[in-house]
Structure 1
Amino acid sequence: MIVVFGSINMDLVARVRTIARPGETVLSRRADSFYGGKGANQAVAAARIGRGGPAAVAMAGAVGADPFGSACLDNLRDNGVDVEAVRILDEPTGCAFITVDESGENAITVASGANMAVRATDMPEQLLARASVLVLQMEVPVAESLEVARRARRSGAVVVWNFAPVPAIEDHAHLVELLAATDVLVVNEHEAISVAEALGEAVAGEYLKAAGVLARSYGPVCIATAGARGAVAVNPDGTQIHAATRPITPVDTTGAGDTFVGVLANGLAEGLEVGEAMQRACLAASHACLTAGAQAGMPLRHELEKARAQG
Structure 2
Amino acid sequence: MSHRNAPLTPTGRLRLARCVVDEGWPLRRAAERFQVSHTTAARWAGRYRQLGPAGMLDRSSRPHHSPRQTPTPVEQQVVRLRREHRIGPVRLAARCGIAASTAHRILLRHGLPALATLDRATGEPVRRYERARPGELVHIDVKKLGRIPDGGGHKVLGRAAGRTNQDRRNGTGYAYLHTALDDHTRLAYTEDLPDEKAATCAGFLTRAAAWFAAHGITIERVLTDNAWAYTKNTWRQTCHDLGISPRWTKPWRPQTNGKVERFHRTLLDEWAYHRPYTSDRERQAAFPDWLDWYNYHRPHTGIGGHPPATRVTNLPEQHT
Which structure's relative contact order is higher, taking Cα pairs within 8 Å and 6+ residues apart?
Answer: 1
TM-score normalised over the length of structure 1: 0.30
The structure that is strand-richer by fraction is: 1
The structure that is helix-richer by fraction is: 2
